[in-house]
């Protein structure tokens, strides 16, 4: 068998689809309902054009950013995705090694199949993604575990009042992990609790969360500018513009389309991050030019992991880094922090 050259993120997507169990491949790839948002997340980037500048005499681009207190080598972080041991036996530990090697932040998922302590031991800058649980005492114990493990921020996912409806999973009857895999952060006195969603959480629970932790709290899943304002008013350290990779409410806008209004509403008071549909260095540049400080990747990490464990994740991250640098050079920019909307030609009527 000839091994195809894996030149870009799409190549990793195709290779992962060959390697993964088809049920798990659908779990990772899928979105909510008709998967309209899932597709839009990617195609919305393609409708934005780049208008490069020339003869600007710039040095090799500086990709570094300060990500809510964590200095990173590039403005690309690992968004939280569940169940990495479905993709590779080493699971989240391998992912964390790759994040450490890349010098960037990994957001560990609450629904991780490797315990947060072992993920943290790989040496990466780590943030912890949290779903508030109706049992607040248990929620607090999970937060304390994450803090003790060395997580530097909490990422509260706020777009999940209920679970999204994934029809691919429903067709396969895929509703629980295979034997031997567990959500290791949900262990409580030996038993593993199921993750629960609740529509009853409100801004007052954010206040509660801030009262039980000193860690910065970042809100993930903001789309409406009015919620971005409330996030600032309630002391969020940052917001992540995200539609959960199209896995929660279908027919929300692509995250890149929701970004400018959130950036305007926040007015520079806190960093605005984004995830959803980042597949090329040009996508990163477009998000930063519209005001994001950094972007997250979800599925691309899983594809790298499925293909070659930690090495595969490293390969995906280095592809994106190289494409980002190449794009900046061709656009005439010497730093990711210089990017401005004047670099973009936006589709009429969409923004």
Q: Which residues bind ligand FNR (CB under 6 A)?
A: 28, 41, 79-82, 109, 111, 129, 157, 220, 242, 244-245, 247, 275-278, 297-299
Reference 40, options 274, 284, 256; nearest CA is: 256
Least Å distance, CB 112 to ligand FNR, is 8
What is the three-class DSSP state of 60? Answer: coil
Least Å distance, CB 30 to ligand FNR, is 8
Name the residue number minimizing CB distance to ligand FNR. Answer: 298
Distance CA 74, CA 102 (A): 8
Name the residue nearer to ligand FNR (CB basis): 275 or 323: 275
Name the residue nearer to ligand FNR (CB basis): 139 or 333: 139
Give the torsion through C-alpha atoms of 77, 80, 86, 88, to 10 deg: 20
Name the residue nearer to ligand FNR (CB basis): 131 or 333: 131
Least Å distance, CB 204 to ligand FNR, is 21
Least Å distance, CB 297 to ligand FNR, is 5
Give, as one character, the DSSP assignment of residue 267. Answer: T
Q: Which two tokens stand for residue 281?
A: 């260095």
Contact 99, 78 (CB under 8 A): yes
- Is 205 assigned a catalytic role? no
What number of other Cβ atoms are within 10 A of residue 181's Cβ?
A: 16
105 vs 11, 20, 77, 227, 295, CA distance in Å?
24, 26, 5, 25, 11
Least Å distance, CB 85 to ligand FNR, is 12
Give, as one character, the DSSP assignment of residue 249. Answer: S
Name the residue nearer to ligand FNR (CB basis): 82 or 336: 82
Q: For residue 323, what are the contacts with CB-CB under 8 A and spacing of at least 6? A: 8, 280, 281, 282, 284
Name the residue nearer to ligand FNR (CB basis): 31 or 333: 31
Query: Of 24, 88, 166, 244, which one is the catalytic site residue?
Result: 244
Contact 219, 229 (CB under 8 A): no
Among all residues, which ones are annotated catalytic? Answer: 244
């Amino acid at each position: 068998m000839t091994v195809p050259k894996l030149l870009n993120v799409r190549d990793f997507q195709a290779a992962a689809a060959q390697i993964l169990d088809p049920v798990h491949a659908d779990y990772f790839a899928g979105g909510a309902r008709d998967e309209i948002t899932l597709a839009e997340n990617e195609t919305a980037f393609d409708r934005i054009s780049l208008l490069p500048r020339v003869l600007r005499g710039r040095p090799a681009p500086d990709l570094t950013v300060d990500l809510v207190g964590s200095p990173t080598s590039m403005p690309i972080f690992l968004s939280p995705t569940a169940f990495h041991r479905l993709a590779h036996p080493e699971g989240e530990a391998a992912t964390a090694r790759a994040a450490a090697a890349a010098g960037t932040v990994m957001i560990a998922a609450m629904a991780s199949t490797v315990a947060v302590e072992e993920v943290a031991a790989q040496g990466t800058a780590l943030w912890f993604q949290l779903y508030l649980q109706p049992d607040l005492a248990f929620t607090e114990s999970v937060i304390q575990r994450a803090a003790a493990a060395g997580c530097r921020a909490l990422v509260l996912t706020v777009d999940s009042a209920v679970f999204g409806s994934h029809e691919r999973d429903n067709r396969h009857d895929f509703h629980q992990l295979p034997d031997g895999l567990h959500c290791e952060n949900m262990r409580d006195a030996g038993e593993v609790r199921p993750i629960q969603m609740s529509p009853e959480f409100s801004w007052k629970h954010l206040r509660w969360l801030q009262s039980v932790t000193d860690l910065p709290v970042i809100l993930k899943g903001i789309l409406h500018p009015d919620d971005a304002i409330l996030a600032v008013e309630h002391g969020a350290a940052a917001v992540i513009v995200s539609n959960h990779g199209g896995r929660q409410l279908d027919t929300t806008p692509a995250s890149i389309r929701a970004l400018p209004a959130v950036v305007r509403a926040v007015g520079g008071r806190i960093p605005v991050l984004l995830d959803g549909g980042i597949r090329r260095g040009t996508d990163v540049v477009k998000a930063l030019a519209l005001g994001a400080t950094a972007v997250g990747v979800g599925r691309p990490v899983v594809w790298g992991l499925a293909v070659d464990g930690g090495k595969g994740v490293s390969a995906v991250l280095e592809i994106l880094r190289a494409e980002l640098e190449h794009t900046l050079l061709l656009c005439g920019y010497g730093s990711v922090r210089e990017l401005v909307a004047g670099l973009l030609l936006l589709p009429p009527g969409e923004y």
